[in-house]
A and B are shown apart, each in its own frame.
Chain A
Amino acid sequence: MRRVTGLLLLVCLITSIMIGCSGEISGNKEIAFADAQWDSNKFHNAVAGIIAEKVYGYSWREVPGSTTVLHEGLLTGEVDVHMEVWTDNLATYNDDLAAGRLKELSINFDDNYQGIYVPRYVIEGDDERGIKPLAPDLRYIWDLKDYPDIFPDDENEGMGRIYGSIPGWEVDEILHRKYLHYGLDDNFIYFRPGSDAALATAITSAYDKGEPIAAYYWEPTWLLGMYDMVLLEDEPFDEDTYMEGETELPAVKVTIAASNNFTENNPEIVEFLSKYETSSQLTSEALAHMQETGDDYVETAKWFLRENEELLDKWLNSEDANTMKEYLNK
């Protein structure tokens, strides 16, 4: 019995080695995209990936990692292209760029907002769902002070709750300073939701129930693409005092960067990516579509390009744009 098992195992081993060896050795025209593990990044990878695949004949894969790890990967050339470098979150980005350790190809988008959001029905009501406007005069962040009862904190009687940012994010500290700056600590708790998933769940669950909620969120995300939320206004942006929480948060410049090695050897892709430009709004819409339909990133990317064909004309020469359109409408 034992001998038979051993023989079977041997056969399995040999066949698997043979099958493994006979596999096609893929060409070196491959792009390794950085995958910082959030939706919009994966989505842009898919958009750029299918264009590179169908127009230029590249294959593509994703390298997952955290922001800093991926940045190191770009410097060493283990990652070819990063479609979404949140430049403000990388302390060394500008220095590395100046020193020529990587190339910035274009600005993917720089119209992204972040701050404290409330559902629109809290301010304007929603006749269809039978929700009355609970805080019709809420417009600025400091107006929250008048409404602690509308956004109650379960754990502390008589206090309101503001869902802050994820602990460890730079913006979490800025928001906390803002909360103190506007004196919201008198009757509000600054509640740290602990993780991205927890924050998103808090907002979706409040929205489903039609309850008021005041929470930090940022664009571009499926959540803000899908739900009608209003960003509470703040003092106009000022570079010197925003870190102290005294003004609104600036839009972050989100760029596309590539490693030096990749830039030198792949001029076609570099030319295409240098023209690649979307917006936070467009990205949020695509992510909301993905959330609603349950499609994967590639399907969503195809849908997105079909909906926004004019982007292809901007990014590609007319011949390539037509190839792509034909493929999409097949």
Chain B
Amino acid sequence: MNTDWFYDFPFKIPIDLGAIDNAVRTFSAKYDSFFNVIRSGLNGFVNSIYNILNFIPWFVLILFIITAGWKLSKKVSTGILYGALLFLIGVAGLWTLMNETLSIIIASVIISLLLGFPLGIVISTSDRADRIMRPILDTMQTMPVFVYLIPAMLFFGLGKPPAVIATTIYAIVPTIRLTNHGIRQIDREVIEASLAFGSTRLQSLVKVQIPQALPTIMAGVNQTLMMAISMVVTTSMIGATGLGMEVLIGVNRVEIGRGLISGTAVVIIAIILDRITQGFVQQSEVKTDGQ
């Protein structure tokens, strides 16, 4: 019995993959000057953050982290623990590599906030925009990274600029989602009350809705930061230097020690940044509760 029709699709659409390749490549060659502007802009941005980080003496940064940890957790011991962990990165000889990695992370997070926060607010005001954006955001989070890394490399070359772009695409999503969510979950009565007392829509947004939504928004910022850190090793595969590259070299050469040490440094950065931003989340919660 011929059961081919059972398992084979009735017809296949021939997809011309070569045409897609060529289109992307000619596009990148044609608008080279445009992409060069973005590339050098991003380069300058990352480099200036890197220079600022390098300008700060190591003990100043450690002291800052100790005080921040202490103030936010109300415990001196916590602050000292964070400081000691950061000190470990320094004595392991990874300080400048950490600064390099941090400059990429910070650049991506700043861009994510600049774009994601307004976008989240826009989506929160319109159900249609929300419906359109949701699948786009899903795509951004689940599309395998290398699928868009390759075009990013064609457009922006190798190194830090495509790393920042790839990190932003991946990490911007929680900022947008949680800003949207935070504003949407506010009681209608609160907004109505603010409008009834004569505030304009803009005043209501800035003075009532955003402060109300702040804890949720801060949670989004925290998630964005964590996701940016999780991209560190992936972006080293397109030539972004820093701790990620150390991990990659260690893993590729089966130098377990090297991978472990630099991997631990990434974890330390993640933990410190997570706890500090979480501290901000709690503080903003306390504030809004007090109002």
Contacts and interface: CB of A to CB of B under 8 A. Distances in A.
B151 to A, nearest CB: 9
Given A167-B245, A194-B248, A201-B153, A155 B47 contact: yes
B291 interface: no
A87 interface: no
B78 interface: no
B237 A198 contact: yes
B236 interface: yes
Contacts of B158: 163, 191, 193-194, 198, 201-202
Interface string B147-159: 0011001100111
Interface in A182-216: 191-195, 197-198, 201-202, 204-205, 208-209
Interface string A155-172: 100000001001111000
A158 B240 CA distance: 19
B233 to A, nearest CB: 10
A194 B154 contact: no
Contacts of B192: none
A90 to B, nearest CB: 14
A192 B146 contact: no
Contacts of A202: 153, 157-158
A294 B18 CA distance: 7
> Is the interface on chain A under 10, 10 to 19, 20 to 34, or 35 or more residues?
20 to 34
A192 B239 contact: yes
Interface string B36-60: 0001100100010000000000000
Contacts of B239: 191-194, 198
A326 interface: no
Interface residues of B, number: 33
B238 A194 contact: yes
B43 A168 contact: no
B160 A208 contact: no
B25 A155 contact: no
B232 to A, nearest CB: 12
A154 B157 contact: yes
B76 interface: no
Interface string A279-295: 00000000000000010
A131 to B, nearest CB: 13
A195 B29 contact: no
Q: Max chain A CB contacts within 10 Å: which of B29, B160, B240?
A: B29
A192 B159 CA distance: 9
Given A154-B40, A167-B248, A167-B249, A205 B160 contact: no
Contacts of A154: 39-40, 43, 157, 159, 161
Contact of B29 (A155, A169, A209): A209
Nearest to B244: A194
Given A192-B245, A194-B240, A166 B252 contact: yes
A160 B107 CA distance: 25
B88 interface: no
A194 B245 contact: yes
B29 A168 contact: no
Given A168-B249, A198-B153, A198-B237, A191 B17 contact: no
A246 B203 CA distance: 70
B195 interface: no
B238 A198 contact: yes
Nearest to A173: B253
B190 interface: no
Nearest to B21: A294
B28 interface: yes
A48 B144 CA distance: 34
Given A194-B237, A204-B25, A155 B159 contact: yes
B251 interface: yes
Interface in B94-125: none
Nearest to A164: B239
B154 A201 contact: yes
Nearest to A294: B18
Given A168-B253, A205-B153, 15 more contacts: A154-B40, A154-B43, A155-B43, A167-B252, A168-B248, A192-B249, A194-B158, A194-B237, A198-B149, A198-B153, A198-B237, A201-B153, A201-B154, A205-B25, A208-B25
Interface of B: 17-18, 25-26, 28-29, 32, 39-40, 43, 47, 146, 149-150, 153-154, 157-161, 236-241, 245, 248-249, 251-253
Interface of A: 154-155, 163, 166-169, 191-195, 197-198, 201-202, 204-205, 208-209, 294
The 8 closest A-B pairs by CB, nearest first: A168-B252, A194-B237, A167-B249, A195-B237, A201-B153, A168-B253, A198-B238, A205-B154
23 contacts: A154-B39, A155-B43, A155-B47, A163-B158, A167-B248, A167-B249, A168-B248, A191-B158, A191-B159, A192-B249, A193-B158, A194-B237, A194-B238, A195-B237, A201-B158, A202-B153, A202-B157, A202-B158, A205-B25, A205-B153, A208-B25, A209-B29, A209-B32
